[in-house]
Amino acid sequence: MKYANLGRSGLSVSRLCLGTMNFGWTTEEPDAHAIMDSAHAKGINFFDTANVYGWGENKGRTEQIIGNWFAQGGGRRERTVLATKLYGPMGEWPNEGKLSALNIRRALDASLKRLKTDYIDLYQFHHVDRATPWEEIWQAMEVAVGQGKVLYVGSSNFAGWHIAQAQAAAAQRNFMGLVSEQSLYNLLARTVELEVLPSARHHGLGVLPWSPLQGGLLGGVLRKEREGKRRLEGRAQEQLQKHRERIERYEAFASELGHEPGDVALAWLLHQPAVTAPIIGPRTAAQLDSALRALDVKLDEKALARLDEIFPGHKPAPEDYAW
């Protein structure tokens, strides 16, 4: 396994982050525990979750599954860089969501209880809260850090100017502020290259791409469709039809390189200078094993240029649309 510092922090994390969104939803607890054990055995020390995972009436279930795994001991908690998130409503009563000081306090304590731990390595804002001032947010986080309940703070789904706003407010308080940003980023979804990635690099944030295979569209979907192994429906099928020509070219190029399409998609992200660790979300141990192959895929300048030709990206703004 390869490791990198998370943004400008001294925290060392694996170049692949284990996403746990499927745990308790499509992956049962025993299988989830086996996946986490396998991740540790392969050197993955970085796990990402959120308080809302489990979804619907089962919100919080994913954190509980991880907590039960930690409770087995054997150094599981100590060897894990644990990231979770807050923002989404955990109930129907006021102040059970977003980033008020009250919800930060309550959501943090609830996550700690479910996770059976006394601290969170990386506590992330799952979305920007336009109704709460940064003075309030940072004051609440300073308390959490001072109590030893949180070590580092990250964001998710922020715009570039949100990152700048957050960091300016943190600097006024002599507080470290954000060390990471979790964004939708893959070969098919490159909007963050306009302003989010430049802002993250300027402010020293490590970028954690979610949905690196764009819901499976970059994972060899056409070949699997031909082999009868997968058939997309609804919106996913609409997206496939929209991008079919490019995906056909992409899968052919991956074959030309001698790699699986999903491995190339992950490797491409690992070649991007702002990216610390793509978030992989395996439903099975076999899917975890397959993701690890991307660490050994080397893409030269010619291959990267070919991928840019198939999936055009963006220059940083304003040069992307102006002189």
Other CB atoms within 10 Å distance of the CB of residue 33: 18
pLDDT digits (tens, 9 = 90+) for 270-306: 999 999 999 999 999 999 999 999 999 999 999 999 9
This prediction's pTM: 0.97
Please enumerate in sequence order all residues whose Cβ is within 8 A of that of 92, keeping only pairs 6 or more positions apart, or say none: none
Give a yes or no: residue 317 inside a domain: no
The average pLDDT across 30-55 equals 98
Nearest-CA neighbor of 176 among 229, 140, 138? 138
Q: What is the pLDDT averaged over residues 227-232?
A: 73
**Catalytic residue from among 3, 53, 123, 152:** 53
pLDDT of residue 318: 97
Structural domain of residue 137, as residue ranges?
3-310
pLDDT at 110: 98
Q: Is residue 240 part of a domain?
A: yes
Please enumerate in sequence order all residues whose Cβ is within 8 A of that of 264, keeping only pairs 6 or more positions apart, or say none. 250, 253, 254, 257, 294, 297, 299, 307
In a domain, 318, yes or no: no
Overall number of domains in the chain: 1
The pLDDT score that the predictor gives to residue 224 is 87
Whether residue 322 lies inside any domain: the answer is: no
Q: CATH no. for residue 134?
A: 3.20.20.100
Helices (H) and strands (E) in the chain, counts: 11, 10
What's the mean pLDDT when you consider all of the chain? 96
Statement: residue 229 has pLDDT above 90: no
187-225 tens-digit pLDDT: 999 999 999 999 999 999 999 999 999 999 999 999 888
Whether 44 maps to a domain, the answer reads yes
Q: Residue range 85-98: average pLDDT?
A: 97
Q: Are strands 17-19 and 178-184 parallel, antiparallel or unpaired?
A: unpaired
**Structure tokens that stand for 49 in this block:** 């979750």
**Is the omega angle on the peptide bond into residue 318 within 30 degrees of 0, that is, cis?**
yes
Q: Kindly state whether residue 316 falls inside one of the protein's structural domains.
A: no
pLDDT of residue 152: 98
**What pLDDT does residue 226 have?**
86
Tell me whether residue 53 is one of the annotated catalytic residues.
Answer: yes
Proportion of the chain above pLDDT 70, given as a percent: 99
Does residue 102 belong to any structural domain of this protein? Answer: yes
Pair of tokens at residue 24: 């308790």
> Would 42 be classed as within a structural domain?
yes
